Structure 1
Amino acid sequence: MEMNGSQRIEASREQVYAALNDVEVLRQCIPGCDSIEKTSDTEMNAKVTLRVGPVKASFTGKVTLSDLDPPNGYTISGEGSGGMAGFAKGGARVVLVPDGEATMLNYAVSAEIGGKIAQLGSRLIDGTAKKLAGDFFSKFSQIVGPQPAGDDAPAAEVAEKKGWVGRLRDSL
């Protein structure tokens, strides 16, 4: 599977690069991340629980950073095992380009999956991968970019914590 995209982040290239190397920021942004631990300047171990269609699996794996070019980007590669659900391995080239006061984060991802998850079909897997990437970059932009000012920020946090049922009840 191949996937390319870009995301404009309202922060300097140096801030974005630093956040991409911050395990706490990554833990908050990676969908389904149970844990992430930095084992060296270029390696991390992670545990992620994901649902792809009817299959829910916990993946444990290793992530390696290479081709480091601060603050311009790097290559990230990883490999994980989900037990009976299968495996995933792949990598991404991340390039950060200044865009005025903001940064364009460009990425090119290649991934390979096998096992039970691979039997679900490429349309379901591709759709899930695109949604996960979108969720990651949306959350990453919220954390790294400027925080909203005024009284709207606490209200947004409360609404997010309530979930859709609480927001529906409050709107009635």
Structure 2
Amino acid sequence: MDMQGSRQLAVTQQQAWQALNDPEVLKACIPGCDSIEATGENAYALVNAIKVGPVSAKFKGNIQLADVNAPESYTLNFEGNGGAAGFGKGSAKVVLTPNDAGCELGYTVHATVGGKIAQVGQRLIDGVAKSTAENFFKRFDEEMQQRHPAPAGAEAAPAAVAQPARGVPAWVWIAGAIVLLLGYWLLRS
């Protein structure tokens, strides 16, 4: 499974990078996130509740960051297990590109899922994935606006909509990064 998307952020590349490296920010922004804790250099443990149709579970996972190029990009490798509900594993490449409006967060995800959660149907998974990704980005945008308010009289940058590639369950990225995310998903400054 593959997914890609981007989102315009009204903050600088450095501000976005720092927020994506802050477990408290990610915990507040990832839907269903119970905890994110550092377990070593560029390594984190994550507990996240996920519900897809009739299947719901707490996924416990590990995230390992690789190819870290601060404040521009990194690769996030993740794996999560929800017991009988299933599992997810994969990687996400995240890139922050500065521009006149702040920066753009782009991501490409490759993931594998299995178990009951994979059996509920691609269309249902895709719907939940899109909703979860949008929820993450909305929360992340709000958090960034609170931490870095725009100067008086400045217009906020329009937010681009994350677009999953055809047939891709984005919830894997959110659960692993986003888990970002949306990652999830999500780094050291």
TM-score interval w.r.t. the shorter chain?
0.7 to 0.9
Q: Report 1:1-172 matches (<5 A).
A: 1-145=1-145, 146-147=148-149
Distance 2:49 2:144 in 1: 24
The one-letter amino acid paired with 2:74 is: Y
Helix, strand or coil at the partner of 1:14 = helix
RMSD: 1.6
* Equivalent in the alignment of 1:153: none
CA deviations 1:108-128 (Å, max 9, x no partner) are: 112211001111111111221
The one-letter amino acid paired with 1:32 is: G
Select the structure with the greater relative contact order (CA < 8 A; seq sep ≥ 6). Answer: 2
CA deviations 1:82-108 (Å, max 9, x no partner) are: 001010112211011011150100111
- Over the matched positions of the two proteins, sequence identity in percent amounts to 47
Write 1 or 2 for the structure with the bigger share of helix: 1
Deviation at 1:39, TM superposition (A): 1.4
Structure 1 segments of 4+ aligned residues over 6 angstroms from their partners: none
Instruction: State the TM-score, normalizing by the size of structure 1.
Output: 0.82
Instruction: State the TM-score, normalizing by the size of structure 2.
Output: 0.75
Q: Which structure has the greater CA radius of gyration?
A: 1
Deviation at 1:149, TM superposition (A): 9.1
Deviation at 1:40, TM superposition (A): 2.1
